[in-house]
Amino acid sequence: MMTENSSLSTEPSHFIKEAIQEDLRNGRFDHVQTRFPPEPNGYLHIGHAKAICIDFGMAEAFGGKCNLRFDDTNPVKEDTEYVDAIKEDIHWLGFDWEDRELYASDYFEQLYQFALQLIHKGLAYVDDLSADEIREYRGTLTEPGRESPYRNRSVEENLELFERMRKGEFPEGACVLRAKIDMAAGNINLRDPVMYRIIHATHHRTGDQWRIYPMYDFAHGQSDSIEGVTHSLCDLAYEDHRPLYNWFIEQLGIFPTRQIEFARLNLTYTILSKRYLKQLVDTGVVRGWNDPRMPTLSGMRRRGYTTEAVRNFIDQVGVAKNENLIDIALLEHNVRDDLNRRALRVMGVLNPVKVVITNYPEHLVEEFDAINNPEDESAGTRKIPFSRVIYIDQDDFREVPPPKYHRLAPDREVRLRYGYIIKCQDYVKDPTSGKVVEIHCTYDPETRGGYAPDGRKVKGTIHWVSAQHAIDVEVRLYDRLFTVANPNKVEDGKSFLDYLNPDSLAVQTGCKVEPGLANAKPGDRFQFERKGFFCVDLDSTPENLVFNLTVPLRDTWAKIEAESK
């Protein structure tokens, strides 16, 4: 369902919405039927989320329906794994296609009959040119193409050859079926495009029934027409293909779908080419399609992103007619903003160093009340244990504190979150590494809750966990996958792989968290106070909890917005 603040349903300058409204006013259509047509050859990414929100959102806005139709016209690259993943992602975004789960393969026989119809009309022919020759004959943007020597075969010969292609009598690449349009057309897509090619592969739904498969440009528009799609909403890459789709529809005399193009989503520090993403998976650069560094919806879900955050981001980006590059900080801002309202606060120490409170009773254990979420009163409070030995983050102690450093240092006081004020008296260093391994402090028993009754000022407040009660966990710190803002534009002689960030993942073991997280389950989200938002990973077990960094607390988008005002 659409969110109440969705720009798709409220933004007056939404040009797709305005076009649909005009079509309904002038009687071109009396209802709205859209479709989302993914290829089942990979996992969906954030760019697909924009298309999903538009396709399903426009149908909902006008009381129409949106079909889910898989474009399964290339059996070499397709798999049911991708089909299942795509359906899960669409449901995760909050949309449902009800009983309208369709496939281009549902229409293979009808598409074949459409091809026969064009052959009978003298508008399609079997071509024996190789793929390279067809490319050469097609010409360039400034030079017209040349007609194939096989272009003027008789209708009878084309029918016979096409039937033999269907029966599998020819090897792959031996011939193709092409539309006969205009080899001198200014739009190269109209220069006798290929309609069918031979593929000897088992299809995930039709098995070995077919040996010829329609090209996307032939299957797309006709599938829309068969389903009665009124508005075929596509990204700008298909704008130049629209005249071809319309030509097929006109020559076949079938239902005239209207195609409207919009700018695809482009994000900084991100690759959204499915081919490149598959390359990252196949070469082991990432740990799979759902690696939290990937821009796939499954990767974002695993990282801890919420449906609401992604939907709000898509709404804010809006629908444009021109390509642009969106700062990924806006997406992270939406994730952070949403999790701030829903994630429970806990204390986690990622780089622990031991603190011994020398004047605290050795066997005493106290419990402090801690607020679960200051943004949500209904979240209530929890009890956290406190004892003589605690852990704090190594960054919260400095032997020689720099200017404006308000955390723990020799002979300095600091406030423990929900606890006492402590003062550093001494520290112990490892003789080999020189690293501080233990800090000795005293506490002021009159400062429970962090308040000094004598009114003395203590500027710093740090988080901690009781060493006696802490749970050891693994934390995976994720950063952007690429080091440049636009890895799609690379220098000569380089590829996007040359801009991979070697520090996109840092794994830290031996981290310490509150005992209350012992029962955390994969998918649970928390804010580690002063650190960021974290999500329990799918690799977690009750014996070994693994947390993914979703986003740090620092909001770069908020800073960008503030500086722009």
Do 108 and 175 lie in one domain? The reply is yes
- Would you state the pLDDT for residue 565? 60
Q: What is the pTM of this model?
A: 0.92
- Same domain membership, residue 313 and residue 379: no
Residue with tokens 């956290």: 384
453 and 368 part of one domain = yes
pLDDT at site 323: 87
Residue 451 vs residue 487, higher pLDDT: 487
Q: Do 121 and 238 lie in a common domain?
A: yes
Does residue 61 lie in a domain region? Answer: yes
Q: Which residues are catalytic?
A: 39, 264, 274
Query: What is the rounded CA–CA span in Å between residue 127 and residue 161?
Result: 10
Which pair of tokens denotes residue 438? 């233990």
- Of residues 337, 331, 339, the one with CA closest to residue 265: 331
Do residue 409 and residue 513 come from a single domain?
A: no
The residues with which 383 forms a beta bridge, in sequence order, are 369
**What's residue 564's pLDDT?**
66
Do 392 and 529 have their domain in common? no
According to the model, what pLDDT value does residue 345 have?
Answer: 98
Domain count of the fold of the chain: 3
Q: 345 with 479: CB under 8 angstroms?
A: no
pLDDT for 1 beyond 60: no
**In CATH, what number is assigned to the domain containing residue 481?**
2.40.240.10
Residue 245: CATH number of its domain: 3.40.50.620
Q: Do residues 439 and 355 both lie within one domain?
A: yes
Question: Which of 434, 463, 492 lies at the terminal end of a domain, its last residue?
Answer: 463
Report yes or no on 58 lying in a domain: yes
The average pLDDT across 45-63 equals: 97
Q: How large a percentage of the chain has pLDDT more than 90? A: 92
Task: Decide if 268 is inside a domain.
Answer: no
Rounded mean pLDDT, 74-98: 97
- Non-local (6+) Cβ contacts of 207 within 8 A are none
Looking at the fold, whether 485 and 437 belong to one and the same domain comes out as no
Q: What is the pLDDT of residue 4?
A: 35
Residues 304 and 258 grouped into a single domain: no
Q: Give yes or no: residues 157 and 232 share one domain.
A: yes
- Binned at pLDDT 50, 70 and 90, residue 492 comes out as confident
Is 27 a domain residue?
Answer: yes
What domain range includes position 189? 7-262
- The reported pLDDT for the residue numbered 12 is 39
Q: What is the DSSP letter of 263?
A: P
Are 421 and 452 a contacting pair, CB within 8 Å? yes
Q: Which of 410, 439, 463 represents a domain boundary (last residue)?
A: 463
Q: Express each pLDDT in 209-222 by its tens digit.
A: 999 999 999 999 99
Grouping H, G, I as helix, E, B as strand and the rest as coil, residue 292 is coil
Three-state DSSP state, 9? helix
198-209 pLDDT tens trace: 999 999 999 999
Answer yes or no: is 434 within a domain: yes
Q: Which residues pair with 260 in a beta bridge?
A: 233
297 lies in the same domain as 398: no
Residue 360, domain member (yes or no): yes
Backbone angles phi, psi at 29, to 5 degrees: -140, 155
Helix 46-61 with 15-25: angle, nearest 10 deg: 30
> Which residues are CB-contacts of 386 (< 8 A; sequence separation ≥ 6)?
365, 366, 367, 368, 419, 420, 466
Give the whole-angstrom CA distance, residue 191 versus residue 186. 9
In a domain? residue 468: no
b/e sequence 255-290, b meaning 16+ C-beta within 10 Å: eebbbbbbbbbebbbbbbebeebeebbeeebbeebb
Element (H, E) at 277: helix 274-282
- Residue 11, pLDDT > 50, answer no
* Residue 526: exposure state from Cβ atoms within 10 A (0-12, 13-18, ≥19): buried
Token code pair at residue 524:
């649970």
User: How many of the other CB atoms lie within 10 Å of CB of 396?
Assistant: 22
Torsion of CA 206, 208, 211, 215, to 10 degrees: 30
Residues 328 and 355 placed together within one structural domain of the fold: no
Q: Give residue 443's Cα distance to chain centre.
A: 48
In the three-class reduction of DSSP (H, G, I as helix; E, B as strand; rest coil), residue 195 is classed as strand
Domain boundary among 431, 463, 495: 463
- 106-145 pLDDT, tens digit per residue, is 999 999 999 999 999 999 999 999 999 999 999 999 999 9
**Cα(133)–Cα(292) distance, integer angstroms:** 43
Across the chain, mean pLDDT equals: 94
Q: Is 10 a residue whose pLDDT tops 70?
A: no
pLDDT of residue 6: 38
Residue 2 placed within a domain: no
